[in-house]
Structure 1
Amino acid sequence: MSLEEGFRDHIATVNDKGKRIWIFPKKPSGTFYNYRKIVSYFLLAFLFLAPHLKIGGKQLLLFNILERKFILFGSVFWPQDFWIFALVMVLGIVFVIFFTIIFGRLFCGWVCPQTIFMEMLFRRIEYWIEGDYTHQKRLRESPWTKEKLRKKFLKHLIFWVISFLIANTFLAYIIGSDRLWEIQTDPLNEHVGGLVAIVIFTTVFYLVFAKLREQVCTTICPYGRLQGVLLDANSMVISYDHVRGEERAKFKKNEDRSAAGKGDCIDCRQCVHVCPTGIDIRNGTQLECVNCTACIDACDHMMESVGLPKGLIAFKSENNIVEKNGFRWTPRVKAYSALLILLLGLVATAMITRKDFESIILRQRGTTYRIDQGSVVNIFEISLVNKTSHVYKVELKLPEGQKGEVEQVVKNLILPAEGTVKERFIVRLPLSEIKGGKKEFDLQVYGNGKRIDREKVKIIGPIF
């Protein structure tokens, strides 16, 4: 490996004068690329279809921040369940860290929406209209002609239309696909503000994929810099086997490269040409590398063509290359594994024990108690949250065996589906039930004749 480390002082897409270097990656092909296409098209199909799929009449996924309503695979979550979301987010962060420690930035190349949209959608459209990387360079540098104008206009028109679909898809995740369809089918003058907003978001998406492109991965996204403190010599990342590859030299037919002091790298630069972020992987692990595996396919193809073993560029750790050993479960990996399992258990427990109803009972503000015909009277307010899709007629009852009664201010208290209700109620207990100025018990909340919740209440009264 070259001792020259100057490449680490700047990113591959900016020259010495700070001007952007436009990247024209060669169209990739190969085994890993075929696997990436399968994964990417599955994720794209899921992204576009998920807002329109329903389970039990509910949208599969909904993140309605405006109404603070979230649906995950048919289960409704409300602000009262936010702690579960926080736990899931922590789990996600730990999982990404755990995955990065072992496999580097593989998430970026295989799962990240930015990479999938860019490489598997927009870039492929670009290849279809403008040709491979040499044709794209020639077209960019050529003067404006009718042919160039036609290709550029067609490409950017398709880019904008796809960006419009992406913006609407993300909106469906926020407000719901049914509501989005209502807006789309209503007269245009009723949603001018919404149209302006969607055009703005469309333009933002368009600029990201038409102009920013790989700059999102190399300069904007913090994950690339995060991996710098997560990787170590045992992390399995896309690596160039410098022990086997150096000294690199051009290929000569029938030459004994070992006798000539040459390594297996034939310096064809195909790994550079195919890289979507413009780096030379032979310089070592770099923050710009998104582990897309395009360089592995390109190198394997060239090795196969010249009769050398494949795997010069592969998923390897630094220790794999130098010490010729396999993956090791280091103490750090074991620690993160244990933490991940713990968090998975906590999330599973939280999901299993999550209640469909939430009730909060508070004493009515400014009241204590009063004595009425030998009974102690307390006034409370109850707030009920219904997370189900059913309507309930609510009744409040004392626990079995408890003397006294509950009087509901609203006799027919209706708890709407996926809604809330707040109402007052009165508890009457005989004076004999009050010991030490108080009495505590669990108030029973019934819905449609079935107990749906219970909440502790504290009745206060005189101290005898």
Structure 2
Amino acid sequence: MTERIPTRIIETVDATKPVRLTPAKAGGPIHTRSFSGFFRNARLVVGGLLFALFFGTAWLNWNGRQAVLWDLGARQFHVFGTTFWPQDFILLSALLIIAAFGLFFITVLAGRVWCGYACPQSTWTWVFMWAEKITEGDRNQRIKLDAASWSLNKLLRRGAKHAIWLAVSLLTAVAFIGYFTPVRELAIGLLTFSLDMEVAVWVTLFAAATYLNAGWLREKVCLHMCPYSRFQSVMFDANTLNVSYDSTRGESRGPRKKGADHRAQGLGDCTDCTMCVQVCPTGIDIRDGLQLDCVSCGACIDACDEVMDKMGYARGLIRYASEQSLQGQKTQLFRPRLVGYGLVLLAMIGAFIWALEERALVSLDVTKDRTLYRENTQGQVENMYTLKVINKAQQEQQYAIELNDANFELQGPKLLKLAAGEIVDVPYSVTLVNERGVASTSDIRFSIRSADDESVRDSVTSTFIAPVIR
């Protein structure tokens, strides 16, 4: 026999048919039932890959340093063989825009699948739900444990659950903060209780946020705190694939014996077993139609397919389907909005890759001295400048500093040798050697190029000020 969810009678149109509230409407904790199926396995694969990427990447080394490290103190952001600087933040902005358009594309195509399969909130919530299952038992056992008075058994089970939650939260915090401070030093400091106060505070805050969001708030984050749940419906159209209940096939719903002619009884394929409700992490009934709470995880599809198999019915009573297909029409995959998002996404990815390839591996910044000008011992007009040079390459470089204007002469070191990632500030003076044809205010251009690689170069325009020539 299939298990039914507890019912609460709030009103009755027919005394024999009480109105049931879903867990989401009834309030209180949502206890999900264990299940198996294709979409659960797909979510496990995606979640496993994301966990491996998140927890493993911080521990990778590259050329003697941490492969991915956002060193905020040094203002250097290492990503494998590339180091980014604050001047490269336009690339980060471009990457965020690409991610946004990718999310738009996925939403128009298949609804809220990001939430169900790849969102960190959903992924960590499933891990915390797994911890509940192995410590407190499956759905029925957890419901009984909630209702039971406090005892040693209940205390031990609850304690074990929260211990796992706290352990996962702490590991998550260490992994996350490990992208901003060397993770090996962080781990050693944590084990030896010698963390810097600032780092300890951040680890504590992030662990607490993980524990609170994935352990206690769960679906409330998706419904009340995540902006995506609010604007996603604007992006849906009649051809968007969503987790949907086929009411034409399923209604009227009701219990029946296996092998019975349910059509003759005036029943559809839905047995009203409520298994789709029992496995839902947000506690909704998908048979009520598309809802804000649905994260498109496919749990109800797996549960319903299992019941259909047992009853000998065709699968797909609940499935990923568009509004068009539910009305018996063909889903149009290639439609203007989707194609538009796809083309923009591809164009932006191409532009991002080009920008990475063309990114200058040396940065030159010129600051003019506040003094307008001065005369040297030969009576020539001079302006003073400070040149800030950043070697963005991963190896030592020798740079040539030039001023390509015959009317001016650069006074200062013509060659600079910088180690990988080194920043230097070097004072220079520029002398006016030919007054003819030079205005009182002139643009001059400083240039820098690598002596080892001619493609590595940069240039900056500054101003030269001279007295008015009469």
TM over 0.5: yes
Displacement after TM superposition at 1:411 (Å):
8.1
Decide which of 215, 224, 234 is 2:220's aligned counterpart: 215
1:407/1:51 CA distance change after superposition, 3 Å:
same
Displacement after TM superposition at 1:315 (Å):
0.9
- Do the aligned residues in 2 keep the contact of 1:376 with 1:431 (CA within 8 Å)? no
What is the rounded CA distance, in whole Å, between the counterparts of 1:197 and 1:458 in structure 2? 45
1:141/1:74 CA distance change after superposition, 3 Å:
farther
Residue 355 of structure 1 aligns to a residue in which SS?
coil
- Do the aligned residues in 2 keep the contact of 1:62 with 1:70 (CA within 8 Å)? yes
Decide which of 72, 77, 82 is 2:89's aligned counterpart: 82
| Counterpart in the other structure of 2:14 | none
| Counterpart in the other structure of 2:11 | none
Q: Which ranges in structure 2 are unaligned for 5 or more consecutive residues?
A: 1-20
1:75/1:109 CA distance change after superposition, 3 Å:
same
| Counterpart in the other structure of 1:229 | 234
- Do the aligned residues in 2 keep the contact of 1:235 with 1:317 (CA within 8 Å)? yes
Residue identity opposite 1:417 in structure 2? A
- Do the aligned residues in 2 keep the contact of 1:55 with 1:74 (CA within 8 Å)? yes
TM, length-normalised to structure 2: 0.86
Q: Which ranges in structure 1 are unaligned for 5 or more consecutive residues?
A: 1-9
Displacement after TM superposition at 1:68 (Å):
3.8
Decide which of 134, 144, 161 is 1:138's aligned counterpart: 144
1:212/1:190 CA distance change after superposition, 3 Å:
closer
Residue 179 of structure 2 aligns to a residue in which SS?
helix
| Counterpart in the other structure of 1:352 | 357
- Deviations, residues 226-250 of structure 1 (Å, cap 9, x unaligned): 2122222211111111121112222
- Do the aligned residues in 2 keep the contact of 1:101 with 1:235 (CA within 8 Å)? yes
Correspondence 1:72 to 2:70: no
- Deviations, residues 4-45 of structure 1 (Å, cap 9, x unaligned): xxxxxx995354xxxx42100001211111121111111101
Residue 33 of structure 1 aligns to a residue in which SS?
helix
What is the rounded CA distance, in whole Å, between the counterparts of 1:21 and 1:458 in structure 2? 69
| Counterpart in the other structure of 1:364 | 369
Decide which of 279, 293, 301 is 1:274's aligned counterpart: 279
Decide which of 87, 92, 109 is 2:116's aligned counterpart: 109
Displacement after TM superposition at 1:371 (Å):
6.5
Displacement after TM superposition at 1:67 (Å):
4.5
Correspondence 1:302 to 2:313: no
Which segment drifts farther, 428-437 or 42-51? Answer: 428-437
- Deviations, residues 323-367 of structure 1 (Å, cap 9, x unaligned): 331343222222222222232222122212111111112322222
Decide which of 419, 423, 436 is 1:420's aligned counterpart: 423
- Do the aligned residues in 1 keep the contact of 2:66 with 2:182 (CA within 8 Å)? yes
What is the rounded CA distance, in whole Å, between the counterparts of 1:39 and 1:454 in structure 2? 43
Displacement after TM superposition at 1:255 (Å):
2.8
| Counterpart in the other structure of 1:7 | none
1:72/1:251 CA distance change after superposition, 3 Å:
farther
Displacement after TM superposition at 1:48 (Å):
0.4
What is the rounded CA distance, in whole Å, between the counterparts of 2:22 and 2:313 in structure 1? 31
- Deviations, residues 133-188 of structure 1 (Å, cap 9, x unaligned): 11111111111222111111111112111111111111101223244246346x64
Decide which of 163, 171, 188 is 1:157's aligned counterpart: 163
Identity %: 32
What is the rounded CA distance, in whole Å, between the counterparts of 1:94 and 1:450 in structure 2? 36
Decide which of 79, 90, 99 is 1:92's aligned counterpart: 99
- Do the aligned residues in 2 keep the contact of 1:54 with 1:74 (CA within 8 Å)? no
Displacement after TM superposition at 1:85 (Å):
0.8
Correspondence 1:255 to 2:260: yes
| Counterpart in the other structure of 1:339 | 344
What is the rounded CA distance, in whole Å, between the counterparts of 2:363 and 2:60 in structure 1? 27
- Do the aligned residues in 1 keep the contact of 2:387 with 2:426 (CA within 8 Å)? yes
Displacement after TM superposition at 1:192 (Å):
4.4
The correspondence of residues 168-179 of structure 1 with structure 2, limited to 5 A, is: 168-179=174-185
- Do the aligned residues in 1 keep the contact of 2:308 with 2:315 (CA within 8 Å)? yes
Residue 327 of structure 2 aligns to a residue in which SS?
helix
Displacement after TM superposition at 1:385 (Å):
2.1
Displacement after TM superposition at 1:376 (Å):
4.5
Correspondence 1:328 to 2:339: no
What is the rounded CA distance, in whole Å, between the counterparts of 1:57 and 1:38 in structure 2? 32
Residue identity opposite 2:83 in structure 1? V
| Counterpart in the other structure of 2:24 | 13
What is the rounded CA distance, in whole Å, between the counterparts of 1:46 and 1:190 in structure 2? 25
- Do the aligned residues in 2 keep the contact of 1:434 with 1:460 (CA within 8 Å)? no
1:454/1:69 CA distance change after superposition, 3 Å:
closer
Displacement after TM superposition at 1:303 (Å):
0.7
- Deviations, residues 284-317 of structure 1 (Å, cap 9, x unaligned): 1111111111111111111111111101111111
Residue identity opposite 1:97 in structure 2? F
1:41/1:450 CA distance change after superposition, 3 Å:
closer
| Counterpart in the other structure of 1:167 | 173
Residue 162 of structure 2 aligns to a residue in which SS?
helix
TM, length-normalised to structure 1: 0.87
Displacement after TM superposition at 1:223 (Å):
1.4
- Do the aligned residues in 2 keep the contact of 1:438 with 1:459 (CA within 8 Å)? yes
Decide which of 35, 41, 56 is 1:34's aligned counterpart: 41
What is the rounded CA distance, in whole Å, between the counterparts of 2:116 and 2:443 in structure 1? 58
Residue-pair matches, total:
447
What is the rounded CA distance, in whole Å, between the counterparts of 2:53 and 2:209 in structure 1? 22
1:406/1:182 CA distance change after superposition, 3 Å:
farther
Decide which of 411, 421, 430 is 1:407's aligned counterpart: 411
| Counterpart in the other structure of 2:206 | 201
Correspondence 1:128 to 2:138: no
- Do the aligned residues in 1 keep the contact of 2:24 with 2:30 (CA within 8 Å)? yes
What is the rounded CA distance, in whole Å, between the counterparts of 1:298 and 1:371 in structure 2? 87
- Do the aligned residues in 1 keep the contact of 2:239 with 2:331 (CA within 8 Å)? no
Residue identity opposite 2:411 in structure 1? E
Displacement after TM superposition at 1:441 (Å):
5.7
- Do the aligned residues in 1 keep the contact of 2:407 with 2:434 (CA within 8 Å)? no
- Do the aligned residues in 2 keep the contact of 1:11 with 1:288 (CA within 8 Å)? no
Displacement after TM superposition at 1:429 (Å):
4.6
Residue 22 of structure 1 aligns to a residue in which SS?
coil
Decide which of 439, 444, 447 is 1:444's aligned counterpart: 447
Residue 446 of structure 2 aligns to a residue in which SS?
strand
Residue identity opposite 1:304 in structure 2? D
- Do the aligned residues in 2 keep the contact of 1:91 with 1:344 (CA within 8 Å)? yes
- Deviations, residues 101-124 of structure 1 (Å, cap 9, x unaligned): 1111100111011111111x2211
1:66/1:220 CA distance change after superposition, 3 Å:
farther
1:219/1:407 CA distance change after superposition, 3 Å:
same
What is the rounded CA distance, in whole Å, between the counterparts of 1:450 and 1:333 in structure 2? 43
